[in-house]
C-alpha cells in the first residue's frame, strides 16, 4: 500500500498477482525482443516465432497434451468455450439434442450453450449439487440420454472451491457418446493437469488466473476433434490459400488463430507456467487448501457466518455474514487493506440455489499466508461492531 501498510490480497480466484518473472518476460517481449510472428523473414521475427511456438509446446507439456497441435491460443476461457460452441457445437448439435451443465457453472459456461441451444433447437439439462455443494455425479448419470451431445462442467468451482471428479464425469459422458468440456480456470493454477488421465474432450483456462497476463488463454481439444472443426473467425494466418472463388484453411491450431496473435501475452504465459511448475502444483494446492481449512474453522466459530461449499475446498471460501450485504463487508474490509470478492461471482444460478443475492469470497494464492486470514478476521470483527 502507498502508506507502507501490508495489503492482504484474497481475490486470486478472480485474477492472480503476477510474479516478477512474468513481468520481466512481458517487458522483454514488448521491447528488446518484439517482432511479429509467422510473417517476417527477418531474424527477429523468426526468433519471436520460435519463442511463440515454444510456448505452445510448453503449454502442451504442462497440461499433458499429446501434441502442441492440440493447443489453441485464445483471449481467455470465455473465448475458448464460445469457440467450441460456435464451431464444434454448430456442426454437432441439432434440434432435440441435449447439453448438460451444472448448477454451479460460471456464466461463461452457461451463456454460450444457451445461445447455441437457441440457434439449433437443442435443450439444456442442469445437474444439481450434493448437500455439500459438489456436482452430483449420480444425478449426472441419471440425466444422460442417447441424445446428450455435450457435458460442460467446471473442474473446480470459482465460488465454492469444490473439485469435480473429472475422470468419472468423462466416463459417464462417454458412456452415452457425449463429449466432455471442462472449465479449468480454477484448476490450472493449482492442480496437476493430464489430459490423457482426465479423458475429457475439451479443456479451457485463462492465463491471468495462472499468474500470467490478461488477454490470453488456452483451448485444448483432441487433435481429431480439432481437425473436424470449421474455423470460427476469418482473416490472416488461418488460411492456406485465398481466392475470390474459394478459400482453403490451415490445419489446427492455426485454423483457429485468425489475425495477429497475442504475442507478448503468450510469451509471458510460458513464464507463468514455468514459475508455477517450479513450485509444484501439488504443493500449491496443499498450501491453499490448508489456508482454506483454517479459515473455514475460524469462520465456523462465528454464529453470524454461513459457510458454503465442501470442507475440502481448493483454496476458495465463500460465506455470508448475517445482516451485512457482502458489498458492505467488502467495502469495510478494503479500509482494513483486505481485498475480497463480493457479489454473485458470475454464477447467478448458483446464488439462486444458495438463496442469497451474493456471497463474500476469500480466495488464496501461492503468496497467501495466515496473516491474510488474521487480517480478514479483524475486518469481519470490525464490520460486526459497525453493524451492531
Is the distance from CB of 202 to CB of 209 less than 8 angstroms?
A: no
Q: Which of 127, 185, 200, 346 is catalytic?
A: 346
Q: Give dist(CA 74, CA 107) in Å, integer.
A: 18
Q: Give dist(CA 363, CA 350) in Å, integer.
A: 18
Q: Give dist(CA 172, CA 159) in Å, integer.
A: 24
> For this structure, is 185 an active site residue?
no
Report phi then psi at 44, rounded to 5: -65, -40
User: Closest Cα partner for 363 from 334, 330, 341, 333?
Assistant: 341
Alpha helices in the chain (DSSP H): 20-30, 43-63, 77-84, 90-92, 111-120, 137-143, 166-175, 195-198, 223-228, 263-279, 281-300, 326-335, 348-354, 370-387
Is the distance from CB of 136 to CB of 129 less than 8 angstroms?
A: yes
Which active-site residues does the annotation give? 346
Amino acid at each position: 500500500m502507498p502508506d507502507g501498510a501490508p495489503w492482504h490480497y484474497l481475490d486470486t480466484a478472480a485474477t492472480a498477482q503476477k510474479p516478477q518473472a512474468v513481468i520481466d518476460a512481458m517487458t522483454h517481449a514488448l521491447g528488446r525482443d518484439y517482432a511479429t510472428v509467422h510473417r517476417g523473414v527477418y531474424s527477429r521475427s523468426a526468433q519471436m516465432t520460435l519463442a511463440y511456438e515454444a510456448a505452445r509446446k510448453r503449454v502442451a507439456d504442462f497440461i499433458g497434451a499429446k501434441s502442441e497441435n492440440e493447443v489453441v491460443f485464445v483471449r481467455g476461457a470465455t473465448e475458448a468455450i464460445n469457440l467450441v460452441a460456435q464451431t464444434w457445437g454448430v456442426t454437432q448439435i441439432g434440434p432435440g439434442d441435449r447439453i448438460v451443465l451444472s448448477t454451479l457453472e460460471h456464466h461463461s459456461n452457461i451463456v454460450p450453450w444457451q445461445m447455441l441451444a437457441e440457434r439449433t433447437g437443442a435443450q439444456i439439462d442442469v445437474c444439481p449439487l450434493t448437500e455439500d455443494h459438489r456436482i452430483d455425479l449420480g444425478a449426472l448419470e441419471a440425466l444422460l440420454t442417447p441424445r446428450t451431445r455435450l457435458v460442460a462442467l467446471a473442474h473446480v468451482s470459482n465460488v465454492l472451491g469444490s473439485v469435480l471428479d473429472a475422470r468419472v464425469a468423462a466416463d459417464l459422458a462417454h458412456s452415452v457418446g457425449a463429449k466432455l468440456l471442462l472449465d479449468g480456470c480454477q484448476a490450472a493454477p493449482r492442480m496437476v493437469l493430464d489430459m490423457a488421465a482426465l479423458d475429457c474432450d475439451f479443456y479451457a483456462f485463462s492465463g491471468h488466473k495462472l499468474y500470467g497476463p490478461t488477454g490470453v488463454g488456452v483451448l485444448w481439444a483432441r487433435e481429431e476433434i480439432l481437425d473436424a472443426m470449421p474455423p470460427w473467425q476469418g482473416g490472416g494466418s488461418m488460411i492456406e490459400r485465398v481466392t475470390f472463388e474459394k478459400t482453403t484453411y490451415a490445419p489446427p491450431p492455426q485454423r483457429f488463430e485468425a489475425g495477429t496473435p497475442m504475442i507478448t501475452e503468450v510469451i509471458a504465459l510460458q513464464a507463468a507456467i514455468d514459475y508455477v511448475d517450479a513450485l509444484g502444483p501439488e504443493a500449491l494446492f496443499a498450501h491453499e487448501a490448508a489456508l482454506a481449512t483454517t479459515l473455514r474453522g475460524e469462520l465456523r466459530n462465528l454464529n453470524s457466518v454461513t459457510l458454503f461449499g465442501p470442507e475440502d475446498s481448493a483454496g476458495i471460501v465463500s460465506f455470508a455474514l448475517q445482516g451485512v450485504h457482502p458489498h458492505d463487508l467488502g467495502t469495510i474490509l478494503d479500509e482494513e487493506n483486505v481485498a475480497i470478492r463480493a457479489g454473485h461471482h458470475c454464477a447467478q444460478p448458483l446464488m439462486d440455489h444458495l438463496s442469497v443475492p451474493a456471497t463474500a469470497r476469500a480466495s488464496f494464492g501461492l503468496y497467501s499466508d495466515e496473516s491474510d486470514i488474521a487480517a480478514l478476521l479483524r475486518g469481519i470483527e470490525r464490520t460486526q461492531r459497525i453493524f451492531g
